[in-house]
């Protein structure tokens, strides 16, 4: 009986382990995949990111990283442009039953709307400058939806991770 159990276990292991081999039919080869522009904070955490802005602050820089996802590092410089996207905020509000409104333009500056991801690198940073003295004390809640809007023709903009919404928390 003991010998029979050992043979069944050995046969099961042999069959089970050979089923894990990668065959061409089920193997995905990502080597030919192109470049995808995305905002990695959204991919790793959440579409929302809270930024605390002091009411007395004349300037607060909030960085928003842009990533080029690909199997290999980019071999050329890749310019990426972002913009404020009211439609993205409206879609978020509708889907999540929230009431965020876009921060008034006097309360922020998109200082570098176009950044370049250098060849051999993956990340570039877009800086948003918040002017705390211009953030309204009433109204809101305020948010700033930043969306990747333009990339070269050999780059795809991520459908899931192209927008980050900065939620503004005004502090005294």
**Angle at 164 (CA atoms; ends 159, 167), nearest 5 degrees:** 150
Residue 18 predicted with pLDDT over 90? no
d(CA 107, CA 67) in angstroms, rounded, equals 26
- State the Cα torsion 97-106-53-140 to the nearest 10°: -30
Give percent of the chain with pLDDT exceeding 70: 91
Q: How far is CA 36 from CA 45, 63, 76, in A?
A: 18, 20, 14
In CATH, the number for domain 32-171 is 2.60.40.1740
d(CA 63, CA 146) in angstroms, rounded, equals 11
Residues 139-162 have pLDDT tens digits of: 889 999 999 999 999 999 999 999
Band of pLDDT at residue 9, cut at 50, 70 and 90: confident
In this prediction the pTM is: 0.81
Domain positions in the chain are: 32-171
């Amino acid at each position: 009986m003991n010998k029979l159990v050992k043979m069944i276990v050995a046969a099961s292991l042999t069959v089970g382990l050979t089923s894990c081999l990668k065959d061409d039919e089920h193997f995905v080869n990502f080597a030919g995949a192109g470049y995808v522009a995305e905002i990695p904070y959204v991919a790793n955490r959440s579409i929302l990111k809270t930024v605390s802005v002091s009411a007395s602050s004349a300037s607060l820089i909030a960085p928003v990283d842009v990533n080029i996802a690909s199997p290999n590092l980019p071999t050329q410089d890749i310019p990426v442009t972002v913009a404020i996207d009211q439609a993205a905020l409206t879609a978020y509000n509708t889907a999540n039953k929230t009431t965020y409104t876009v921060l008034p333009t006097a309360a922020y500056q998109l200082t570098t709307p176009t950044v370049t991801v250098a060849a051999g690198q993956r990340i570039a940073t877009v800086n948003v400058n918040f002017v705390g003295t211009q953030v309204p004390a009433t109204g809101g809640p305020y948010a700033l939806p930043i969306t990747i809007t333009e990339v070269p023709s050999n780059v795809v903009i991520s459908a899931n991770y192209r927008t980050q919404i900065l939620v503004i928390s005004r502090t005294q």
